[in-house]
Structure 1
Amino acid sequence: MSRSGAVIVHDDAEVLAEAVAARLINRLADAQAHRGEASIVLTGGRIAARVYANVLASNLRGTVDWSRVDFWWGDERFLPSGDPDRNETQAREAFLDRLPVDPARVHPMAAADEADTPEEAAERYEAELAASAGGSGVPAFDLLLLGIGEDGHVASLFPGNPALEAAGTVAGVRNSPKPPPERVSLTMPAINTATAAWIIASGEGKAAAVDEALAKRELPAGRVEAQGHTRWLIDRDAAAQLKHLEF
């Protein structure tokens, strides 16, 4: 493993998933030690699913009172409830349904059979966030997880898409370059309220985007600036084009 500032590189995807899972548990346990509860924003994707599976399997998972954790999502595909491509479905299958969570503290974004449009789903989620925050804005996010796409997108904020520049806290997304075209996403200002944001990347397909986002800060992923710290947790394949780092 090699470190350079906010970048932590692990040998392969499995080691990365295990390490992120351990860090996640510690982060939530520390938050609960300070204020009795914790809040996390979940992401989707293959590496995220492996992280969640490692959380479930960890001997340390009992250090967190899962009934006092709020689970939010950074983005969602605007598809019917239970669709396997929804981030909510993935997270429930990977670990949420097998942890002693409080159902009232699990906050999925509205599905396509629950809201008529992505914009309506965004408005509803914005209202739920505001209510949890005491009337406006978003609640304290102790940890916000993000993947990165090959084009440098995070959540469902794609380069050149109007949602990337959206104000407020949640945006409906249309014309996504990746299917499905309709989505719901936290906005960049909402993402950047997090105390900690971790961008997780695995595989050679992410290497160019990781390098460009870190070097130029112009891609959506490069615009993530959490209030406390932002970490890039990646494997060697995703770090393959970071020529200014030594591994």
Structure 2
Amino acid sequence: MSAGARVAVVHPDRETLARVTAARLLVHLVDRQSLHRPVHVALTGGSVGIAVLAEIAGSPLRPAVDWTGVHLWWGDERFLPDGHPDRNETQAREALLDELEIPAANVHPMVGPGPGVSTPEESAAAYASELAQHAPEGAAVPALDVVLLGMGPDGHVASLFPGHAGLQVTDRAVAGVHGSPKPPSERVTLTLPTLTAAREIWLVVGGADKAAPAARGLAGDAVTTTPAAGAVGVERTLWLLDADAAG
């Protein structure tokens, strides 16, 4: 398999997609821990992304991972106050993190508005600094072993939307987003160069409304019209689809 090759795996329904992706991730973490530590993973939100985390919480494979050697990041976040129910972090904590045996210092949420942080750009700068603290010498970000991404019906990933200015950001690891076509309008996102520096990217996609952009993404459409097409990992890119999203 060539570096960055796109591979599609189709599951019969959304529930199976979430369950098998959870098992796949747990096994992958165990495999990675046999090679190096720590292991870095970027999580995603959305209904399927959170369902994957809930499946991890109940999986008998969960204890096989040494969670003290895992660092959890996020691909994007809504610029909302910490604890807001619409934040990806809040939903992830409820689905999995609150009962996970992982040091608090290994969980890296994007900070919301509050003391010292009044704009998405300030949150992005703080997150870029935190990423850099865990990066190897000379790099801006750690070598993310797996980035989990959902995809919108418009083909967006993280908070990188078709035709949006964020797609053009190449000089920063993390960017603030204004005017998002999907509410809320203000967000924080990993940039495309950060995503494509990951060892593996897994796009976890369910629903018939995702079939057309999934086809475009797998075909290597222009990033400006289908941002998911640009989400390609260094070693492997997995499109994990339910039957509806596979069309």
Which residue in the other structure is 1:46 paired with?
Answer: 47
For the Cα contact (< 8 Å) 1:151–1:209, is it kept in 2? yes
Q: Where do residues 113-152 of structure 1 align in structure 2 (5 Å cutoff)? A: 113-114=114-115, 115-134=117-136, 136-152=139-155
Q: Residues 30-76 of structure 1, C-alpha deviation per residue, up to 9 Å, x if partnerless? A: 11111133110000000011111111111111110112110000000
1:81 is paired with a residue of what secondary structure? coil
Q: CA deviation at 1:212?
A: 1.8
Structure with larger RCO (C-alpha < 8 A, sep 6+): 2
Consecutive unaligned residues in structure 2, runs of 5 or more: none
Is structure 2 residue 173 aligned with structure 1 residue 166? no
Tell me how large the CA RMSD over aligned residues is.
1.3
Instruction: Give the Cα–Cα distance (whole angstroms) in 2 for the partners of residues 77 and 83 of structure 1.
Output: 9
Instruction: Give the Cα–Cα distance (whole angstroms) in 2 for the partners of residues 5 and 207 of structure 1.
Output: 16
Instruction: Give the Cα–Cα distance (whole angstroms) in 1 for the partners of residues 203 and 190 of structure 2.
Output: 15
TM-score w.r.t. the length of structure 1 is: 0.93
Which region of structure 1 is more displaced relative to structure 2, 106-115 or 122-131? 106-115
Is structure 2 residue 219 aligned with structure 1 residue 212? no
Aligned partner (choices 151, 158, 177) of residue 155 of structure 1: 158
Instruction: Give the Cα–Cα distance (whole angstroms) in 1 for the partners of residues 217 and 38 of structure 2.
Output: 33
Instruction: Give the Cα–Cα distance (whole angstroms) in 2 for the partners of residues 216 and 37 of structure 1.
Output: 32
Q: CA deviation at 1:17?
A: 0.5
Give the % identical residues.
49
Which residue in the other structure is 1:226 paired with?
Answer: 233
Query: 1:191 corresponds to which letter in structure 2?
Result: L
Aligned length: 237
Q: Residues 140-166 of structure 1, C-alpha deviation per residue, up to 9 Å, x if partnerless? A: 111100000010000000011111110
TM-score w.r.t. the length of structure 2 is: 0.93
Query: 1:19 corresponds to which letter in structure 2?
Result: V
Q: CA deviation at 1:216?
A: 4.1
Q: CA deviation at 1:113?
A: 2.1
Q: CA deviation at 1:207?
A: 1.1
1:153 is paired with a residue of what secondary structure? coil
Is structure 2 residue 191 aligned with structure 1 residue 187? yes
2:184 is paired with a residue of what secondary structure? coil
Consecutive unaligned residues in structure 1, runs of 5 or more: 241-247
Which residue in the other structure is 2:30 paired with?
Answer: 29
Q: CA deviation at 1:215?
A: 2.3
For the Cα contact (< 8 Å) 2:203–2:240, is it kept in 1? yes
Which residue in the other structure is 1:84 paired with?
Answer: 85
Change (3 A) 1:5 1:111: closer
For the Cα contact (< 8 Å) 1:79–1:113, is it kept in 2? no
Q: Residues 188-226 of structure 1, C-alpha deviation per residue, up to 9 Å, x if partnerless? A: 000001111000100111111111222242111001111
Which region of structure 1 is more displaced relative to structure 2, 213-222 or 146-155? 213-222
For the Cα contact (< 8 Å) 1:28–1:39, is it kept in 2? no
